[in-house]
Amino acid sequence: MGAQWKAKGKAQVADARGKLFGKLAKEIMVAARGGADPAGNSKLRLVLEQARKVSMPKDTLERAIKKGAGIGVEAASFEHVIYEGFAPHQVPVMVECLTDNVNRTAPEMRVLFRKGQLSPVAWDFDHVGMIEAEPASAGADPELAAIEAGAQDFEPGEEEGQTLFITDPADLDLVSRALPAQGFTVLSAKLGYKAKNPIDPASLSPEALEEVEAFLGAIDANDDVQNVFVGLAG
């Protein structure tokens, strides 16, 4: 949770597939502003790789590229907005949104944060590149891979057997390209926020942790929310 909060549970996973495609389509549209050719647009290339790994339909993917680049259709207009604050029990949260109407998103975020608090917390997070990867062969060493590929650090990933490689924001594309030669398959690569001093969930009561999870679930359910980064360890 110290890196990025994700909804859990089989029912949530099944229900979230369409929403995931929607989020990726937005990211593709924004990235495609820099050009529709992924060979010359590293941001677009990274998002497309992630979209293909989750089997995003090809026509949906291509439509998002054209809309973002303004090819044959009106260009999509999304604004990147960050909302900072605390979940219940003073757990810091960074909420990343892509919206076509800030006048809609802002009041919705204010309502969602009523059970927490909107407040500056960016000082408690590092802006970093985050690369989720898994070993492509037995014996792949994440520590050696991090050193050789130029990552700043590494830690266990969201799923068992995966590794989260932390990079300088400017090195995200470079490291993601270097990891396959070190025996790792890149699953996703994006910029995000990593808590400097994450709170140990064990320090919260079961009831308090449930309140935090409910708050995060409500935030994540908002259509304009792309990513939720939370100051919880583990």
| Alpha carbon distance 86, 113 (integer Å) | 8
**pLDDT tens per residue across span 37-46:** 998 888 898 8
Looking up tokens 């927490």, which residue turns up?
A: 116
Name the nearest CA neighbour of 12 among 22, 20, 2, 4: 20
Q: How many CB atoms neighbour CB 72 within 10 A?
A: 8
Q: Is the pLDDT of residue 175 over 50?
A: yes
Rounded to 5°, angle at Cα 19 from 14 and 22: 145
Q: Is the pLDDT of residue 159 over 60?
A: yes
pLDDT at 10 (0 to 100): 45
pLDDT at 129 (0 to 100): 96
Our CA dihedral for 127, 213, 6, 26, rounded to 10 degrees, sits at -80
Q: How far is CA 216 from the centre of its chain?
A: 14
What homologous superfamily is domain 10-69 in, according to CATH?
Integrase, N-terminal zinc-binding domain (1.10.10.200)
The domain locations on the chain are: 10-69
Contact 151, 175 (CB under 8 A): yes
**pLDDT tens per residue across span 188-229:** 889 999 999 999 999 999 999 999 999 999 999 999 999 999
| Alpha carbon distance 82, 116 (integer Å) | 16
Contact 198, 231 (CB under 8 A): yes
| Alpha carbon distance 113, 185 (integer Å) | 37
What 3-state DSSP class applies to 1?
Answer: coil
- Predicted TM-score (pTM) of the model is 0.84
Q: Is the pLDDT of residue 13 over 90?
A: no
